[in-house]
């Protein structure tokens, strides 16, 4: 496919409102959506707001909705669209608009701050940590997260229900809680907080978060479902319940 003019429809506006605007922008072989947005900015819309950093799928900044699907603009090839079709680019729907394609994602940082950090047993110093290789490998998948928040954006619990944001951390942060709860050296029991403070029960394992993750992390299968099982064990298994009462994990 050689050079052609793509039909682009881009949302322009701010938190007071806005609208979709149509543009025709040149596309060359091998380009991605972010290239076209940058060309639009350089040639026709110098005031267009767009957030990006690495252009390599690693910083998680260029998240947007392309034809209604949450994606990274720098990892979406223009060759994946028919040149005759219009490509619509809108900001992430779940977060407040700042301007044009830029949203305020502070919801995510607030949730991140609320999660108690890794807590090793008292007296164990860095360098003395010992754990099985299988436990190291399990958490490595979760640590591939680039914090693009596409999973947070797509999750229906908050996407259409602003009122749930106070009580639901979202898939990225339930994955973080699961990662820490699975850590053999973490002494905090995170099961109750996952359910009661961070709203794990709202998740009905639709797997939409997994489908949009650019790092292909199996968020639902490997983090959310195992975490739900751990919560269920604690809540409904009488032996586990009694064990928890009698021998709570040492937090001192
Ligand atoms: S699986 Fe759970 S967290 Fe993921 S999108 Fe569905 S409801 Fe949200
Ligand atoms: S889990 Fe995947 S989709 Fe969610 S923030 Fe991390 S990289 Fe993005
Ligand atoms: S610009 Fe960094 S992920 Fe797209």
Whole-angstrom distance, CA of residue 233 vs CA of residue 243: 11
Tell whether ligand 3 has an atom less than 6 A from the beta carbon of residue 147. no
Position 251 scores a pLDDT of 43
Summarize the confidence of residues 96-122 as an average pLDDT: 97
Whole-angstrom distance, CA of residue 234 vs CA of residue 184: 17
Q: Is the pLDDT of residue 116 over 60?
A: yes
Residues 128-178: tens digit of each pLDDT = 999 999 999 999 999 999 999 999 999 999 999 999 999 999 999 999 999
Domain ranges of the chain: 3-102, 104-248
Position 241 confidence tier, pLDDT thresholds 50, 70, 90: low
Could you name the CATH architecture of 3-102?
Roll (3.10)
Query: Same topology for domains 3-102 and 104-248, yes or no?
Result: no
Cβ 105 vs Cβ 151: under 8 Å: no
Q: Is the pLDDT of residue 103 over 80?
A: yes
**How high is the mean pLDDT of the chain?**
94
CA of 68 to the centre of ligand 3 (A): 18
* CATH class of the structural domain 104-248: mainly alpha
Pocket test for ligand 1, best of 176, 207, 218, 226 (most atoms within 8 A of CB): 207
Ligand that comes closest to the CA of residue 174: 1
């Amino acid at each position: 496919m050689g050079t052609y003019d793509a039909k682009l429809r881009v949302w322009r506006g701010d938190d007071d409102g806005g609208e979709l605007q149509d543009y025709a922008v040149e596309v060359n072989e091998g380009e991605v959506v972010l290239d076209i947005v940058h060309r639009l900015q350089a040639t026709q819309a110098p005031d267009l707001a767009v957030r990006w950093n690495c252009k390599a799928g690693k910083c998680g900044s260029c998240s947007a909705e392309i034809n209604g699907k949450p994606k990274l603009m720098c990892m979406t090839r223009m060759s994946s669209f028919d040149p005759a079709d219009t490509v619509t680019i809108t900001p992430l729907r779940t977060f407040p608009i700042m301007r044009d394609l830029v949203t305020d994602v502070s919801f995510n940082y607030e949730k991140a701050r609320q999660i108690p950090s890794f807590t090793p047993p008292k007296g164990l110093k860095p360098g003395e940590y010992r754990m099985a290789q299988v436990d190291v490998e399990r958490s490595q998948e979760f640590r591939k997260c680039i914090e693009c928040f596409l999973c947070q954006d797509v999750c229906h619990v908050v996407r259409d229900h602003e009122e749930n944001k106070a009580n639901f951390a979202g898939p990225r942060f339930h994955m973080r809680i699961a990662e820490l709860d699975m850590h053999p050296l973490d002494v905090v029991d995170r099961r109750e907080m996952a359910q009661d403070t961070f709203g794990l029960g709202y998740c009905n394992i639709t797997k939409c978060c997994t489908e949009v993750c650019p790092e292909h992390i199996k968020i639902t299968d490997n983090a959310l479902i195992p975490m739900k099982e751990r919560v269920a064990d604690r809540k409904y298994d009488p032996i586990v319940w009694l064990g928890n009462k009698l021998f709570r994990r040492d937090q001192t």
